[in-house]
Amino acid sequence: MPQSSLSADRVFRLLGRELSEEDLREALFRSKVEFHGRKDGLLDLEVTPDRLDLLDEGGLAWELQGILNLAGGLPYAPEPAPRPGVEAHANPTVSPLRPELVMATASAPPGQALDAGDLEELVRFQEILHATLGRDRVAASLGLYPLERIQPPFRYVLEPLDQIRFVPLGGSEEMGGREFYATHSMAETYGSLGRSEGLALTLRDSRGTILSLPPVLNAAGPGELRPGDREILIEATGTRLSRTREMVGMMLLPFAARGWKIHPVPIHRSGNADPGREAVEPRTLPVSSGSVAQVLGIRLTGPEMEKGLLAARLGVDREGTECLVRVPPWRPDILSSLDVVEDLAVAHGFASLSPVLPVAPSPGRTLPFRRFLRRWTQAALGLGFQEIYTPLLMSREAAERFSPPAEALRLSNPVSREFSHLRPVLRATALDFLGRTTGQGYPQRIFEVGPVVVRDPSSETGTRTDVHGVLLEAGKETGFARAAGILEYLTRLVGIQTSREPVDSPGTIRGRAARVRWAGEDIAVCGEVFPAALAELRIPEPVAFVEMNLSQIWSLRGTPRAPGTGSPSV
């Protein structure tokens, strides 16, 4: 899940009070934030992918205000009209490459301006949005500019490389377009997104000054924010209008939380003008007591609904048991009234909802395979391992630690780099988990039972989903010998006779890995993780693992009989 570290002092300043680590953990338990602790003045947080706003200092402070009943509602109202003269023109030439452009402006309240901490927060949150909503800038990317030092109107166009000359952000010397795209590290990473043969995307002001080469890099000076700036232009380019608007809407949050005034920016395309209000204005959705009762199974009064929605930091206009809810632009996850009900449930507290059993002709019973998995789980717990859960999706880097690059299946439309591949082995995501718990004591022993997706040419889809079980141990006494002993115990537990043989397994130290075969099939592997992978994740102790294909073991034991006729002993 997306994660980041926020300044505790700055969050508490926006909150209006300081909280102890215990109080903060208790409050955030009632939200979609997982709090990992406070260290060196930073709050280490992890959020669900639909609540990226909680990884911003202002978004987190507003959430805490609602949870602690310090404030409620939506303290945001953008200006209806754009600033005089501030507009942009998107040339039709950009359409084949990156057609969408969305902008907004932010103006500081009297007596305020950007400070160094604000600037650091803007850059940090911008990069989180690039990696998640922007899909590593492929779907959309953001730019921030000092409106006081540039001259509107702005022009977004695809132009020849030979016409481009600018000083790249962080540089001191002017470069031509061809030189930049041939030598600069940012062009090497993102250049293909903003360049087509001998042409490249540019954003210029009315004086012809290059502000940026979207989505690659801003220019030094006109594309560079500094402490003390009070007028800021927020810009996003992308392949789809909805995602580009979402990026701008999310980037408004750090400004809105500090009381900055937001204005839309009109965008002109081929004679048509988009006033730009959709990117900055709250959306409205209806919700009623009846719809809440249908989803949650409880009936709330009008005042109870209003109280919960205000605590969720949404705007509310209530009439009896009907509410018209105002949703801010940094909440793209709220698409319908059902999403509003989910926010209401979170604010109300899931623990206060009484479970309701669905009507069914029979209560059912546990399948034999599930009983088999439960027995394996109990064995892992008995060995002193702690159960975890990790998602099926993972990054390319995590996939390649334990499998060849072509082995893990890549999604055609990943939401972010963190969730771009399907795991072919369970140890890949489990090792990532250990990389997020390095602040805890050692040894650490974790296990998981979960699905993996592997290639299978014999299936209709070309893939197969298996259930694996994995155990990982990190500590000074950890090693291949301990992993091999655990594997031998677990194979005896499931009642099978196996043979173990050395194997070169990706991600393991050569000579310290083995596979287990049964009935001519590979059913398990154990080994000691290669030090380079541990260094990459900053894991300070050796790590060894055992991974078993529980689906394969169950299949080789024999297909269970139909329900009601008995089943093999597990």
DSSP string, 74-104: ------SSPPTT--EEE-GGGTTT--EEEEE
Mean pLDDT (the chain) is 91
Give percent of the chain with pLDDT exceeding 90: 75
Backbone torsion region of residue 178, taken as left when φ is above 0, otherwise alpha when ψ lies between -120 and 50, otherwise beta:
alpha
Q: Residue 89's beta-bridge partner residues?
A: 155, 268
What is the DSSP code string of 211-233?
Answer: EEETTTEEBTTTT---TT--EEE
Q: Could you tell me which of 230, 228, 235 has the C-alpha nearest to residue 252?
A: 235
Query: Terminus-to-terminus CA distance in the chain, angstroms?
Result: 35
**Cβ neighbourhood burial of 78 (10 Å; 0-12, 13-18, 19+):** buried
pLDDT score for 519: 83
pLDDT score for 565: 28
CA–CA separation, 199 vs 390, rounded Å?
43
Residues 207-265: pLDDT tens digits?
Answer: 999 999 999 999 999 999 999 999 999 999 999 999 999 999 999 999 999 999 999 99
CA–CA separation, 35 vs 32, rounded Å?
10
Residues 504-544: pLDDT tens digits?
Answer: 889 999 999 999 988 888 899 999 999 999 999 999 999 99
pLDDT score for 568: 30
Tokens of 240: 């789809």
pLDDT score for 567: 30
- Give every residue of the chain whose pLDDT is below 50, as ranges: 559-570
What is the DSSP code string of 29-63?
Answer: TTTTEEEEEEETTEEEEEE-TT-GGGGSHHHHHHH
Q: Are 244 and 167 in contact, with CB atoms under 8 Å apart?
A: no
Q: Could you tell me which of 237, 37, 44 has the C-alpha nearest to residue 155?
A: 237
Residues 335-348: pLDDT tens digits?
Answer: 999 999 999 988 88
53-65 burial, b at 16+ Cβ within 10 Å, e below that, comes to bbbbbbbbbbbbb
Residues 61-96: pLDDT tens digits?
Answer: 999 999 999 999 999 999 999 999 999 999 999 999
CA–CA separation, 446 vs 474, rounded Å?
9
Q: Are 45 and 39 in contact, with CB atoms under 8 Å apart?
A: no
pLDDT score for 558: 64
pLDDT score for 363: 67
Q: Could you tell me which of 3, 1, 50, 6 has the C-alpha nearest to residue 24?
A: 6
Angle between helices 116-131 and 241-251 (to 10 degrees): 150
Domains belonging to the chain, first-starting first, are 3-67 (3.30.56.10), 88-279 (3.50.40.10), 283-352 (3.30.56.10), 368-557 (3.30.930.10)
Tokens of 453: 């997706």
